[in-house]
A = this chain, B = another copy of it.
Amino acid sequence: MQSVHTMSAFDEELKYLAKRIAAMGGHAERMVEQAVAALVNADPGLAQKVIRDDIVLDEGQREIDDKAIIIIAKRQPMATDLREIVGAIRISADLERVGDLGKNVAKRVVAVTDGRQPTSLFRGLEALANLALTQLKEVLDVYASRSVDKIGFVRDRDEQIDAMYTSLFRELLTYMMEDPRNITPCTHLLFCAKNIERIGDHATNIAETIYYIVTGDQMPAERPKSDKTDKIGLPAALPVK
């Protein structure tokens, strides 16, 4: 009975880690959503809320790290269980970084809204954010269900994000060239777009970690790129990933 009891306590610990990851994921999504909403609606109050909220993810990552190390030391897990714990450490690091990127977007709200930009630019950024957030949500769903057989969607989605980022990058440059007063706010929007594009990369990292947890194998290192800026020697007006 003792052994069954111990196993079950261990399972509880693993479940707790997974639950904390899910909570971190939800929090990271909300931060990004609100940061983009603050930008689009020129809402510095909401931006400040997002900036304050970031500490939750910093603490979440620290708690998961500490818990994971205690579990490893106490339970000395092997194989799948060990991958589960190491995976939790990695995913929480990616989610903490997503929060940082959301916070960085929030910090740019005043700089961008000082010189109010054409609405179409915000629409572009919103669309990019929606795509990256959908990617993140779907990946977190895969984490919950562990059904990695359909994980290929991650790469397609990432290609879409890259393509949309490329088009937004060009558009922002043309606004800057049209009127020097657009340069400063559009520079901050370029960084916002880059941050959101990076959120897609972190979602892809998380997908790779989930694949590793479930299968024990690494997904191939290099994923195909569609933004065609991977090679040097391309026109300067293309973004570089």
Contact = CB atoms under 8 A, between A and B. Distances in A.
Interface of A: 44, 47-48, 51, 55, 58-59, 62, 65, 69, 72-73, 76-79, 82-83, 86, 89-90, 93, 104, 106-112, 114-115, 173, 176-177, 180, 183-185, 187-188, 190-191, 194, 218, 221, 229-230, 232-238, 240-241
A111 B187 contact: no
A240 B111 contact: yes
18 contacts: A48-B232, A69-B83, A73-B77, A76-B76, A86-B89, A106-B232, A107-B229, A107-B232, A107-B241, A110-B232, A111-B235, A112-B236, A115-B236, A176-B183, A184-B236, A187-B190, A190-B190, A191-B194
Given A58-B221, A69-B86, A72-B72, A111 B238 contact: yes
Given A107-B230, A190-B190, 19 more contacts: A44-B233, A62-B221, A65-B86, A69-B83, A72-B82, A73-B76, A73-B82, A86-B89, A90-B93, A104-B240, A104-B241, A107-B232, A110-B232, A110-B234, A173-B184, A184-B237, A185-B236, A187-B187, A191-B194
Nearest to A237: B184
Given A69-B83, A187-B190, A232-B47, A107 B173 contact: no
A188 B241 contact: no
6 nearest A-B pairs in the assembled complex, by CB-CB distance: A111-B236, A114-B236, A76-B76, A107-B240, A177-B180, A110-B232
Contacts of A176: 176, 180, 183, 187
A240 B188 contact: yes
Tell me the number of copies of this protein: 2
Chief secondary structure at chain A's binding surface = helix
Nearest to A176: B183
Contact of A173 (B59, B187, B234): B187
Contacts of A109: 232
Nearest to A45: B232
Q: Which of A44, A51, A187, A194 has the most CB of B within 10 A?
A: A187
A70 B194 CA distance: 37
A235 B114 CA distance: 8
B188 A236 contact: yes
A232 B105 CA distance: 11
A241 B240 CA distance: 20
